[in-house]
Every structure is written in C-alpha cells, then in structure tokens.
Amino acid sequence: MKPLSIVVRTCCDMFAWFMVVFGSYVIIHGDVTPGGGFQGGAIVATFMALLLVAYGGEKVLSWVKFSFYNGLLIVGLLLFLLFGFSGMANSFFYNFLAVPEAVALAGGAHGIIPPSGTIALMDIAVGIEVTGGLTLILLYMFKGTRMFNLIEMGGETGHDSR
C-alpha cells in the first residue's frame, strides 16, 4: 500500500498528536467529566489509525514495536489489579484513597489525591489498557492484509509465516 498525498500525510502528522493530547485529557479527567478510561483510550488509539491510513502498512509496521503495545496491555491490567487488591484490608475494590467525610465537609483540602480516590487511578489504568488493545487490533488488521497479499503473490506461506 502506497502512502497518500503530502497534504493528507501532513494533516495526519499534526492531528495524530492532538488526538493523543485530547485522549490523555479525557482519561485523566475521567472521574469528573464525561468520558473515562475506555473513551480516552479509544481516542488515543486513533493516533495509530491516522498514521496507518496516511502512511500505509509497510512503513508503519517497520516503525512500531508490537512488544511495546503488549507491554501497555500488561501494565494496564496489572495496575488495575493492583488498585483493586490495594484495598484488600476491607474488601476487593475498596476505595482506600477516598477523602474522609470530615475533610470533605471541612472544605475538601486533599492535596494531590484525586477527590474520587482510586477511581481516577483506575481510569488511568483502563486508559493504558484500552490504548494498547485497540492499537494492537489496528496493527494486526494491517498485518493480516499483508499476509493476504503475500498469498496472492504466489509465495509459499505456511501457517506460521509472517
């Protein structure tokens, strides 16, 4: 697949990074505004969609490392489980960072701790996970089409060919 014209490539270069910034905003503010981990992760994964549509599969697949996005998957999952098990003294998923009622009634000075406790941190974990997962789905779609093309060109391909 050939790259598209220079207009499309320049626009996708610029807007891809804006999508990353906006998706990070949606993830981080997921507990107080509409959106959250899943929505923000989907917006961040649009980064790879824009690059794939603009540059074509071969170039992008030579740029990215699959192990990085697999690592994002694992890190997100482990962070979520860590926050889930952190409140195990009371129960699973116990919100151990929540602002105490006395502090909240006195004016809500809680420093850098998010007002919703672990929910904001879990949103960030879900955002990392969904970013890795949706990006991997896009990349494997492209890899599948490349494999299809190899078969069509008559090359010998086994089950484990790349």
- Give contact residues for other proteins (rule: CB under 8 A): 1, 26, 34-36, 38-39, 42-43, 45-46, 49-50, 52-53, 57, 134, 137-138, 141-142, 145, 148-149, 151-153
Q: Which is nearer to other proteins, 11 or 81 (CB)?
A: 11
> Please, what is the minimum distance in Å from the beta carbon of residue 155 to other proteins?
12
Distance (Å) of CA 146 to CA 6, 62, 69, 139, 140: 23, 13, 20, 11, 10
User: Whole-angstrom Cα distance, residue 77 to residue 71?
Assistant: 10
> Please, what is the minimum distance in Å from the beta carbon of residue 108 to other proteins?
24
Burial of 8 (0-12, 13-18, 19+ CB in 10 A): middle
> Please, what is the minimum distance in Å from the beta carbon of residue 43 to other proteins?
5
Q: Which is nearer to other proteins, 78 or 141 (CB)?
A: 141
> Please, what is the minimum distance in Å from the beta carbon of residue 12 to other proteins?
11
Region label for 111, one of left (φ > 0), alpha (ψ between -120 and 50) or beta (otherwise): left
Q: Which is nearer to other proteins, 99 or 130 (CB)?
A: 130
CB distance 61 to 143 below 8 Å:
yes
User: Whole-angstrom Cα distance, residue 125 to residue 123?
Assistant: 5
Q: Which is nearer to other proteins, 3 or 84 (CB)?
A: 3
